[in-house]
Amino acid sequence: MFNLEKFLRIIIGFALSVLIGAALMIFVYALPNARAVENIREALPLYEHEGNYPSWALGEHSKLDNFTDAIILLEIIHPATNLINAAMLNPRFGTTQDAEPVEALIKVLRGDSTGLSEIIYPRYWHGCLVIIKPLLTLMKANHLRMLFAYAIFILFVVALLMCQKILGTPYALALAAAVMILNLVSVSMSFQFATIYLITMTAIIFMLKKNRRLFGNDLYDYFFAAVGILIAFFDFLTYPIFSVVMLLIFWYVLNLRELLKEKISSVLKMMSGFLISWGIGYVGMWSGKWIISQILTGCNTFANAIHQATIYSRIGNDLANVGWQITAFGAIQRNIAVLGHGPIRIFLFVAIIFMLYILIRYRKSLTCRLILPYLFPAALPFVWYAFASGHSHIHAFFTYRNLAATTFALICMSINIYRAEKN
């Protein structure tokens, strides 16, 4: 149960994580980049062909984000004359902050600096550099994509087999449905899409393996906080809510037998505590970058980050000057539209028919006990879209993936209703 003692321990934990994160970033910027530059240059034809936002199939769900991946590669290429400043401000060459970085990457690799200047990007940790830069000293950038694809597939297979063995085939199928909605092809081809998936799937495997210890020793608050910290360190604000929703549902179904002995209010209170733990880790680690960056470099990172967060959370006509008419409802609607595009409709249609059948067939047996532990996590992506309406509307081609967790939660709810009725 979440309490003051755990709160203080988590605060200390994320404070230490901020220091460790800063040390890791300084370390990775201290690594020589000559070999990485050559391996990135070998993949130049790939980025020349694809551009900033290529699609491997029709539809937004198949769109890749070379825009952000190019930023990552430009940061690896950029010379670090001052290690602390480089690690905290993450400089790169480009034209303007929001210009097309793939074009800047091509120019830099060709030795053409025309129209380029140094740009800083300090509001994220850019922790993915800790993994990507060392790997790029060993392989080409296009081969790194393949390595990510192998890792993503292996984790999916391991998680699926463990889920089937521990929870049963229906829950394994629910997990498979969620992963299909994520679209593993796109996830494996964009570095920034992969981070949330890799962290979440690893966390799920860990829960399946160590649930008794985590649950029996009351360690889940710390576990959720640790996952939040990792996501804040590695992610670029892609689909973070997917992670916490998936973990909340797995926590509930893994411990369903014990939790049925608790009042529904106690279960929801525990879930809220885990959500708070995850939020402290996530927000604390993220804002920790703003603070430590400002302390170590003197750059007003905090004000820059708050300004950008305000833009992404604005509702109404605030982004009309760039052509966006954004509302909370519009952001939700747009993400649902991307979710239901293309072949994904087939899986959604089957899932919806199954859920409707269960709800109608067993409507007289429905209780708060059966549905609230699933509906509470399932609603979190919609809260996220309403809060970050600007970001969610503009970047719906990847933020829609949060709804994969909602789908997973609702399918698991249907499974639980069916099993409860049969029992």
For residue 423, what pLDDT is reported?
A: 67
Q: For the chain, first and last CA: distance in Å?
A: 29
Give per-residue pLDDT as tens, 24-76.
999 999 999 999 999 999 999 999 999 999 988 877 778 999 999 999 999 99
Least confident of 124-128, 355-359, 374-378: 355-359
For residue 316, what pLDDT is reported?
A: 45
Q: Grade residue 92 by pLDDT with cuts at 50, 70 and 90.
A: very high
Mean pLDDT computed over every residue of the chain = 89
Closest CA to 110 of 62, 48, 166: 48
Cα angle at 68 between 63 and 73, to 5 degrees? 125
Report the pLDDT averaged over residues 125-133. 96
For residue 321, what pLDDT is reported?
A: 47
Tokens 């966390």 correspond to 203
Q: Are 122 and 301 in contact (CB under 8 A)?
A: yes
CA distance 379 to 388: 15
Rounded to two decimals, what is the model's pTM? 0.93
For the chain, percent of residues with pLDDT exceeding 90: 67
For residue 314, what pLDDT is reported?
A: 59
For residue 97, what pLDDT is reported?
A: 60
Least confident of 50-59, 269-278, 344-353, 407-416: 344-353
Between residues 158 and 80, the one the model is more confident about? 158
Inter-CA distances, 247 with 138, 162, 228, 250, Å: 34, 15, 11, 5
Report the pLDDT averaged over residues 251-260. 94
Asked if residue 322 has pLDDT above 70, the reply is no
Asked if residue 326 has pLDDT above 70, the reply is yes
